[in-house]
Amino acid sequence: MNDLLIRRARLMDGQGSVDVSIKDGRILAAGNNVAGSARQMVDASGRLLIPAFIDAHTHLDKALTAPEGGVGSLEEAIEDFQRRSKDIDRGDLLERGRRVLRLALRHGTTIMRTHITVSENLGLRGIEAALELREEFAGKVDLQVIAMCSGPEPEPTAPLKELLEEALRLGADGLGGAPHLSEGMKLWVDYIFALAGKYGVVIDLHADETDSPSVASLEYIAAKTLENGYQGRVVADHCCGLAAVDAATAERTIAAVKEAGISIITLPSCNLYLMGRQDQGLVRRGVTRVRELQAAGVNVAYASDNIRDAFRPFGNADMLEEALITAQVLQMGTSAELEQVIKMGTYNAAAAIGLQDYGVRVGARADLVLLDATTPAGAIIGQVEKVCVIKGGRVAVRNDKKSDIII
């Protein structure tokens, strides 16, 4: 007997009335009139069934800490977190992390990658809390933990290096940072590649998150990726500076990114709020060249980045909400483009963070979302309900209580 049978679903490729059977957490069969009984049944009634959302770039240690007075720029937001880091304790980190993870699951995200700051002020408290949350939410929201280091210093300090090694020994899944924030960018990148290589972990770096025309860190990361044989295991985030450089520089950089097998994660909702703060009139938006990257065959995903903190006071840990913001700013509005946006928050995100057994296909892990729409365009434009969220073959969330407008 199957564990779960989903009847009469519509898939993203336009196939209608598909049945999906699930056993031992994996998709056993998908097709018309799949036979067999199941312990649990979900009648999709023609609604759209997609693989669960993946929020591939968040900051759980910062989430839900929005300062009352707001901030004026990326630099001020970084300072704000740095200042309050000394007072952030484990209990606070766990409590806020739980709230975000529950909210994410409610909105159909079953896999999340979080960057967690390692610094002399915060120590390893953020990492320890995130690793505890990874255990606690196993089977609900799979969490990947990236130990993130950054600073204005010309290179990582000795105490910071010790903390980063310890973060990896404790079990962090990868290394990250924001090397463009330092004049010694190359030394930070060199260190991160060396340490990641030593522990065999993935690399996920904030790159050129600046209004200035700059691809310095992205180009260097691409070169180091090739040099270290790290193709397919490196993600570069933001890449705002790529939007501001001239066309020839952009073309050269994008070719290097493609050759290095780097995935790009764009974070439009956060950058729209943070970037171009000194501009008046035509305010720069800080969103990278997604169309050109995709045209060159680079894997591009979107993610939510900051959720109600100094970097961005908005966000509901809702990848469908982020899809709407992404589609709007990228001017992707046709049915085909909106399907592409949904794929950026699902399949492309899976490729970026190295998931093999993902998708609505036989043998894949049964992480699925049933949306109250028949097409990706309808789901994004209507901001529809995630009727049912399935994690590892089990119904994890039901949001199908109808609400009627009376007048």
Q: Which residues bind Zn ion (CB under 5 A)?
A: 305
Q: Name the residue number minimizing CB distance to Zn ion.
A: 305
* Shortest distance, position 377 Cβ to Zn ion, whole Å: 28
Q: Please give the Cα distance from 188 to 180 (Å, whole number).
A: 9
* Shortest distance, position 191 Cβ to Zn ion, whole Å: 19
Nearest residue (CB) to Zn ion, 208 versus 305:
305
Nearest residue (CB) to Zn ion, 211 versus 305:
305
- The 3-state DSSP class for residue 342 equals helix
* Shortest distance, position 286 Cβ to Zn ion, whole Å: 12
Nearest residue (CB) to Zn ion, 176 versus 392:
176
User: Residue 235: in which H helix or E strand, if any?
Assistant: strand 234-238
SS3 content of the chain, % helix, strand, coil (to 5): 35, 25, 40
* Shortest distance, position 15 Cβ to Zn ion, whole Å: 36
Q: Please give the Cα distance from 59 to 79 (Å, whole number).
A: 15
**Alpha helices (runs of H) in 283-346, residue ranges in sequence order:** 290-295, 319-329, 335-344
Lookup: tokens for 239: 């890449």
Nearest residue (CB) to Zn ion, 74 versus 366:
74
Helix axes 125-136, 158-170, angle to 10 degrees: 10
User: Residue 145: in which H helix or E strand, if any?
Assistant: strand 142-149
* Shortest distance, position 180 Cβ to Zn ion, whole Å: 12
Q: Which of 213, 291, 297 is nearest to 263 (CA)?
A: 297
Nearest residue (CB) to Zn ion, 304 versus 375:
304
* Shortest distance, position 6 Cβ to Zn ion, whole Å: 34
Nearest residue (CB) to Zn ion, 267 versus 396:
267
- Give the strands of the sheet with 26-31, arranged side by side: 26-31, 18-23, 2-9, 38-43
